[in-house]
Structure 1
Amino acid sequence: MKSSYKLCSFKRGLLASSMLAAGLTVPAGAAEAEKDTSFTLEEILVTAQKRTESLQDVPISISALGAEELEAMRVMGVDDYITSIPNATYITAGAYWGQNVTLRGISDFSGGRYEVISVMVDDMGFGAINSNSILSAQFWDIDRIEVLRGPQGTLSGRNSMGGAINIITAKPSTENYEMKATLDYGRFDTFLGKLTVNVPVSDTVAVRATAYTEQADGAIKNIGPAGGSSSKDNYGGRAAVRWTPNDRLTLDASIAYEQQDRGSEPFILRSFFDEDFQEAQVTALESWGGVYLDDVDFYADVGNNGGKVKRDVYEYTKITDWIASFEAAYEFDNHTIQLLYGHFSYEIDYQEDYDQTEYSWWKTTRNREVKTDTAEFRISSDYEGAFNWVAGASYLKETQDNDQIDWIGIWATQGGTPRYAGEGGYTPAYRGLSNDNMKSIGFFANAFWDISSSLHLSAGARYSIETTQFGSKFNFDTANLNPDFVSPITDADLRPEAKIKKFSPRIALNYDLTENATVYAQFSTGYRAGYGNDAQSVSVGAPEKVLPEKLINYELGYKAQLLDNRVNVAAAVFLMDYTSLQVEELLDPALNPFPFNIYYDINAGKAQSKGFELEAEALVTRELVLDASIGYTKATIKEVTLDSVDYTDVGMPNVRPWTVSLSATYTKPIKDDIEGIIKLDYQYQDSLQWRGVLPDPRFYVDAYNTVDLSIGLQTDSWTVTAYFENVLNEKYHSAVGWETVGFRGPLLYTEPRMFGIRLTYKMGGQ
């Protein structure tokens, strides 16, 4: 069933791609008849190479989403836009466990303490240790988002092997007063209110402020004893100021605060009732000290039940985050000096019914705190000649503290069978603390040389010096009812610092075929930081240090503006060699003194990822715009050794081989200044294996297709839009989790059909 479904889904994707490709071919007669210079696509400017350039001139495979496009997509978080990017995959295991982005097959798929996709806000990197924190933050006033595929080690530094996501916020303007208000109401009693105001205080000072509130009942209801739902009650705000005391100096500062108060994760359960799995679950529970006096009821009659679940624990996620930034830019006649600083703090409190049943088996509580300070000093040239450059130094300090407690039903320590609805309560059985620190200093330079009128060189390198330090401690004690049975981490618990020095070169050549078409070749590199295993793992056989991962990318690309700038096309093929994989290893049970599995990380084997991506945008008529993207990735672990067993040619997890995104937007004048808008979006996401190096049917996620539709009316001042997401109500999974007790099977999230209406009013501005 899986293979036939996948084939059918992919054929539908190819059919839609072919239809759109046909639409991109504007008849020759039409092209000749309408040579109106105003009838063109707008130029897209990006800062991927730390200077402002046209997207068409940058020798990097990059997707850029502007403010209007983000508004049309109703983007609030990474999950709202990332699947529209070719060769990008998004999987979530919940707010605490991770929101995982894969670019070109590179992700944090098994082992590895640090990230492989760099996430930046206004060119400042956050989330080197764990990008789930910065990806959990929502953004409400965005100028554009740039997604760079392939290693970005030269300009983005550490932990950008797979690529980089740069979120650029809207800046205050002294030109015009602007006010924009949005009200949105949708299914599941979902409400969003958002207000943005830009105020020119004087000729040199402007202030911009945004606030939002969002509430929803959620699609998943807990009909078990604890009640609750996948609800949300979020709010936040951002204030920014710009001061230009003279024509040369620009000062920008901003601060944002957000509070997210969410209910349970929107998970359902996939049946998994084979006898081997049940036996493994019983063994796991008994290892915690339980003695079963009676047969265990596997509750087989309760499994999958759509949007309803039965849990005896009230689940919640509470997130608080702050983001602050400062930038000073001074323009000389031929040079610009920039000083940038960013601060990010994040705290999450989380509680989950870990067994996902109405019986008191296992619950877990988690707390994570992240603090990041990052700064960069940058100098760039602006010569009239053929040669220019950018150079600078960057600094990052990031810490992450985790505190986790696992609780089991008291019945498990006394002997007996699971009790309903938390009868008898829970006892703390496990507590673990960890502290992770990273400090990074980087020195970078990149040169831009127009060798001739047609041949252009971009080349540079970064020298990075990083230190990482990690410490953890845990205790297993089912008899101690005091959850504070682990003392805080001290310096004595931290592993010795792991220090690395890395040189990350990059070189790219552009050759202009015509004034509006170029081909490029790029060689780029990236790495993921190394670290030390925790002391308790080392004491039972783990290696003291894990070496950095390394990645080399070879890329050929083509970019063009065709048919009088009515069609934009970008294509690339790539081959990436990946060495020193950081993978998770299971400690030999014979050496394990603890009643649960112990894992640690090792360096093992090498991998390769290759494929292509194609993006196109076409202004077919004055009313019709078509967008298309398609990506293909074949990512393979060539060699890996796990548990003393050698494996070859294993498919890399967390990779969707094919991704397709198609969009058509039709705008038609109706009366006076009123226009009608119809937008149709289609996406195909291939199947994937989520976690671990070796295939596991519990973590298999099917391919899916979705169709979204929006219909609206707009004037210069207001827009009203009715939207329908997942119009065909296809049952597909955008998340996956796991179970180790409870006999309910893996956790998944099925996106329901969503519909609503959005009203936007704006005044002022340009």
Structure 2
Amino acid sequence: MRGIGTGDPQHGLDSKVAMYVDGMYMGKIIGIAFDSPDLARAEVLKGPQGSLYGRNAVAGAINLISAKPNPDEYFGKVEVGFGSFSQREAQGSVNIPLDDSSAIRLSAYFSEHGGWVDNKGLGENFAASDKVGYRFAYLNEVNDKLTVNFAADYSNMENTPLYYQAVPDGAYQPAEASLFGFAGVLTPRNGRQDSANSLQNVGRGEMETMGVSLTAEYDLADNHKVKFNVGYRTQDGARAVSLQPDVGQIEAVQVGSGPYLGDLVPGVSLGLNAITGGYLENIAALAAGPNNPTGFIPFRSGFLQALATPMTDFYNSVSTGPDDHKQTQVEVTFTGDVMDGKLEYTAGLYYLNEDTATNRDVDGGYRNPTDAQAFVDFGTALGFCNPAVYAAAPNPTTAFVAGCTAGFRNSRQGSGLPLIVETDALAAYSQFTYHAQDNLRLTAGFRVSDEEKDVVQQPLSPLFGDNIDVLGNVIPQNVASTSFDSADPTIMVEYDFNEDTMLYVSRTESFRAGGFNETATSSPDPVLGYGEDLVFDPEEITAYEIGIKSTFNDGRTRLNVAAFQYELENEQFNVPKEPSVATNRSIVNTNSEMEGFEFDFVHLIGDNFTVSGNAAYTDVQNDPVVNPYLCQPPGARAVICALAPAGTPNVVDPRDQPLGVPEWAYTIALDYNKQLTDRLDMYAHINLNHKDEHLSSQDEGNDEHDLINVNMKFNYELSSGNTAFLKFWGKNITDEEYRIDGIGFRALSYDVFVFGEPASYGVSMGMNF
């Protein structure tokens, strides 16, 4: 939002954009992947938040507000639909009055998507999903002063992985036949690939979400209210990952063309025979030599057999997380005005307890031998056993033995590690608006936040996926406790030039708590009890904004314009820990600034047409990031640096471009409403959405693209008074090919990208009753 977002979904990070469902804060990014069956509206608040309600947020807030029960009448809605890629959906809701002051509302939805990347191999198609959800709401207007709302919801989502398509050197190249010989499959493709051939069964991930909330609003006196909100939510799921060998990664490794791993053993290509043969020859030579280190040979039982396992076994996995995520929220808010309405106030207290985990078995039982990252990290670990690295040493054999032993002993998996984090967040907030004149308002707000976090994290063996390294030693846990606090003010001035035009200027501060790096792999410090890459500091933001909100042309035109400048201090930023493994990363603190402007407008043309649009320009200036984990010669990591090509800028990442932020983004839309007969009316809509090219990771870019979407709806009033409707829709109707995500898997030779969904169409029908 305005150039600030969270690209890393790991559990040790808080979201920069706060998401709320009926006042309940959604604590983890992965936890917002659900559909709400009965939304009344969505509110988007831009800029730092925290002096009015909820938890602090540095970028903004999105409030999803469900429809409330209505005691006045009985009504409902049902709808079914069908679309491209075997899409099916059904949804419905019903409002049932119980008496003059209370009612319940029931709603449900169901949807299926067959997946748009056709899998000619084992398992289902890629990007397929099944979703189901239910919601119950109860409202009771107890008396003239007290209203109580209770809600409970449940949703379950299953999905197959997105398809990561290989693109050599990050650019489109001519297609070539699959090296595995699958008929009709070309890899890599020049553009979007609509079919694939999985060597293994493509598994499904799952996310189950449940929640309950109770809200009571009470009129303390005239113009003074108190609202009490308490809620509890759980999430439990697993994420499916698939990096298919037929898209080029393994093919390149097989023929030894990887930029870092192709020639670790001189004169031998890095195919499976090289891993199980050439490497083992080095081991055999060590075992027979005078410098064989104690404990280095023999390895763990099964080590050699694991080396001989086909690498394709490591590229489909279902990883746990969130594992039994639980959160409890309590909030009380007072609102009102004094001085005959000249001074308006909001004040409240907020408490959140969050207990989240990727996998709660951190005592050594965790085991996932089919994890894709296991072999990736193991392949990198082999670099420590490259004799060429030690050729110039005074005693090459001794140096090789020492380096190889240390490399295996210290190697740890850096992705999807078992981690448990408990957070207690407490805040007090207030905001006052003083009407100095009829057309001048002064607003001041203040928030005090205090948070405590505890973590237990278990680094894993890169080969076996458990807490025992390849030499049979127990890998120690990272255990840490830390706390964060912040005092954040807000000030704003609003001035009405007239009834239709308002100018505002604001300055706001907020903070994002620090946390724990799920991918930390450093050995625990004897004094601290945790490794150097586990804990990172909170980030802080200072935001300045000036804008105009206006309506003119007899109310037929609305125009809003805003300009902003953000200063981010100690921004939490991901850096790679190894040059060849994209998902082995850490989080460091740095600084950045961003500025931009945006506008939106709506204009009525005649009686039937409405044209609307919005545009945003964002310019980001990032401070260089010193990467403490790569290339610090002389030092313990000199071996890693030796594996990188000469001249690789690993010491400082200049961050010339921001992540996930296009310089320009805009939307323009045209709507048409027409009463065709006494009973029949129609509505049509078309929009164009544009985004400039932007980065999805530190070195992978997404395409500039323009998407066109359309929909049309006909409403027909039945003799019973009910209304039947028929809708048609189309998404990406020009079939634009564009990338939406990318991973720089240097160790696997080819970069991989996810493409956006092709053109799709559908129809739905239903009734309002």
- Give the TM-score band, short-chain normalised: 0.7 to 0.9
Determine the C-alpha separation between the residues in 1 that align with 2:371 and 2:101.
61
**SS of structure 2 residue aligned to 1:474:** coil
Query: How much has 1:356 moved relative to structure 2?
Result: 4.5
Q: Which residue of 2 aligns with 1:166?
A: 63
2:233 and 2:327 in contact (8 A); partners too: yes
Cα distance change of structure 1 residues 543 and 408 upon mapping to structure 2, 3 Å threshold: closer
Q: Which residue of 1 aligns with 2:370?
A: 407
Q: Which residue of 1 aligns with 2:30?
A: 132
Match status 1:758 vs 2:764: yes
**SS of structure 1 residue aligned to 2:682:** strand
1:530 and 1:546 in contact (8 A); partners too: yes
Q: Could you tell me which of 590, 593, 601 is aligned with 1:616?
A: 601
Q: Deviations over 1:668-693 (max 9, x none)?
A: 1211121122211111011101123x
Determine the C-alpha separation between the residues in 1 that align with 2:697 and 2:764.
37
Q: Out of 626-635 and 710-719, give the one that drifted further.
A: 710-719
Q: Deviations over 1:583-633 (max 9, x none)?
A: 3345589xxxx99996433323x1101000101112222211221101111
Query: How much has 1:346 moved relative to structure 2?
Result: 1.0
Matched-pair identity in %: 21
2:581 and 2:747 in contact (8 A); partners too: no
Q: Could you tell me which of 306, 312, 317 is aligned with 2:193?
A: 306
Q: Which residue of 1 aligns with 2:306?
A: none
Query: How much has 1:712 moved relative to structure 2?
Result: 2.7
Determine the C-alpha separation between the residues in 1 that align with 2:588 and 2:462.
28
**SS of structure 2 residue aligned to 1:319:** strand
Q: Could you tell me which of 121, 125, 128 is aligned with 2:21?
A: 121
Normalized per residue, the structure richer in strand is 1
Q: Out of 232-241 and 149-158, give the one that drifted further.
A: 149-158
2:203 and 2:316 in contact (8 A); partners too: no
Q: Could you tell me which of 89, 92, 96 is aligned with 1:195?
A: 92
1:354 and 1:739 in contact (8 A); partners too: no
Determine the C-alpha separation between the residues in 2 that align with 1:306 and 1:238.
38
Structure 2 unaligned blocks of 5 or more: 174-178, 248-311, 360-366, 380-411, 470-475, 526-530, 633-650, 718-722
Determine the C-alpha separation between the residues in 2 that align with 1:744 and 1:310.
17
Cα distance change of structure 1 residues 616 and 580 upon mapping to structure 2, 3 Å threshold: same
Match status 1:665 vs 2:628: no
TM-score, normalization by structure 1: 0.74
**SS of structure 2 residue aligned to 1:173:** coil
1:268 and 1:306 in contact (8 A); partners too: no
Structure 1 unaligned blocks of 5 or more: 1-102, 278-295, 417-428, 487-491
2:203 and 2:317 in contact (8 A); partners too: no
Q: Which residue of 1 aligns with 2:320?
A: 367
2:55 and 2:350 in contact (8 A); partners too: no
Q: Which residue of 2 aligns with 1:702?
A: 703
Determine the C-alpha separation between the residues in 1 that align with 2:208 and 2:456.
25
1:538 and 1:544 in contact (8 A); partners too: no
Query: How much has 1:121 moved relative to structure 2?
Result: 1.2
Query: How much has 1:155 moved relative to structure 2?
Result: 3.1
1:122 and 1:169 in contact (8 A); partners too: yes
Code of the aligned partner of 2:13: R
Cα distance change of structure 1 residues 550 and 713 upon mapping to structure 2, 3 Å threshold: same
Q: What are the within-5 Å matches in structure 2 for residues 738-757 of structure 1?
A: 739=745, 743=749, 745-757=751-763
Determine the C-alpha separation between the residues in 2 that align with 1:346 and 1:597.
24
**SS of structure 2 residue aligned to 1:357:** helix
Determine the C-alpha separation between the residues in 2 that align with 1:157 and 1:390.
12
Q: Which residue of 2 aligns with 1:26?
A: none
1:355 and 1:361 in contact (8 A); partners too: no
1:686 and 1:702 in contact (8 A); partners too: yes
Cα distance change of structure 1 residues 201 and 109 upon mapping to structure 2, 3 Å threshold: closer
Larger radius of gyration: 2
Match status 1:499 vs 2:483: yes
**SS of structure 1 residue aligned to 2:587:** strand
Determine the C-alpha separation between the residues in 2 that align with 1:153 and 1:162.
11
Determine the C-alpha separation between the residues in 2 that align with 1:447 and 1:708.
43
Cα distance change of structure 1 residues 536 and 273 upon mapping to structure 2, 3 Å threshold: closer
Determine the C-alpha separation between the residues in 1 that align with 2:375 and 2:446.
58
Cα distance change of structure 1 residues 641 and 757 upon mapping to structure 2, 3 Å threshold: same
Q: Could you tell me which of 80, 85, 104 is aligned with 2:2?
A: 104
Q: What are the within-5 Å matches in structure 2 for residues 647-726 of structure 1?
A: 650-692=656-698, 696=699, 699-716=700-717, 717-726=723-732
Q: Deviations over 1:483-525 (max 9, x none)?
A: 6869xxxxx9563321111001101110001012100001011
Cα distance change of structure 1 residues 187 and 586 upon mapping to structure 2, 3 Å threshold: closer
Q: Could you tell me which of 563, 567, 572 is aligned with 2:562?
A: 572
1:158 and 1:528 in contact (8 A); partners too: no
2:477 and 2:524 in contact (8 A); partners too: no
Query: How much has 1:215 moved relative to structure 2?
Result: 1.6
Determine the C-alpha separation between the residues in 2 that align with 1:274 and 1:258.
38
Q: Which residue of 2 aligns with 1:465?
A: 450
**SS of structure 1 residue aligned to 2:52:** helix
Match status 1:349 vs 2:249: no
Q: Which residue of 1 aligns with 2:512?
A: 528
Match status 1:242 vs 2:139: yes
TM-score, normalization by structure 2: 0.73
Q: Which residue of 2 aligns with 1:603?
A: 589
Q: Deviations over 1:418-443 (max 9, x none)?
A: xxxxxxxxxxx968311122110000
Determine the C-alpha separation between the residues in 2 that align with 1:396 and 1:408.
33
Q: Which residue of 1 aligns with 2:623?
A: 638
Q: Deviations over 1:191-225 (max 9, x none)?
A: 11101000111011100010111122221121123
Determine the C-alpha separation between the residues in 2 that align with 1:595 and 1:688.
22
Q: Which residue of 2 aligns with 1:396?
A: 352
Cα distance change of structure 1 residues 466 and 657 upon mapping to structure 2, 3 Å threshold: same
Code of the aligned partner of 1:676: M
**SS of structure 1 residue aligned to 2:327:** strand
Q: Which residue of 2 aligns with 1:321?
A: 209
Code of the aligned partner of 1:557: G
Determine the C-alpha separation between the residues in 2 that align with 1:113 and 1:467.
14
Q: Which residue of 1 aligns with 2:742?
A: 736
Q: Which residue of 2 aligns with 1:337?
A: 226
Code of the aligned partner of 1:602: V
Determine the C-alpha separation between the residues in 1 that align with 2:761 and 2:424.
45
Q: Deviations over 1:110-140 (max 9, x none)?
A: 798222111111223222xx32212x01112
Cα distance change of structure 1 residues 691 and 243 upon mapping to structure 2, 3 Å threshold: same
Determine the C-alpha separation between the residues in 2 that align with 1:343 and 1:298.
52
Q: Out of 563-572 and 469-478, give the one that drifted further.
A: 469-478
Q: Could you tell me which of 450, 471, 495 is aligned with 2:435?
A: 450
Cα distance change of structure 1 residues 602 and 263 upon mapping to structure 2, 3 Å threshold: closer
**SS of structure 2 residue aligned to 1:525:** strand
Query: How much has 1:167 moved relative to structure 2?
Result: 0.8
Query: How much has 1:240 moved relative to structure 2?
Result: 0.2
1:560 and 1:568 in contact (8 A); partners too: yes
1:376 and 1:393 in contact (8 A); partners too: yes
Code of the aligned partner of 1:245: V
1:153 and 1:524 in contact (8 A); partners too: no
Determine the C-alpha separation between the residues in 1 that align with 2:578 and 2:214.
50
Q: Which residue of 2 aligns with 1:66?
A: none
Q: Which residue of 2 aligns with 1:378?
A: 333
Determine the C-alpha separation between the residues in 2 that align with 1:684 and 1:536.
40
Aligned-CA RMSD value:
3.2
Cα distance change of structure 1 residues 185 and 257 upon mapping to structure 2, 3 Å threshold: same
Q: What are the within-5 Å matches in structure 2 for residues 428-447 of structure 1?
A: 432-447=417-432
Q: Deviations over 1:230-264 (max 9, x none)?
A: 32222111010000111111000101111112233
Q: Out of 229-238 and 507-516, give the one that drifted further.
A: 229-238
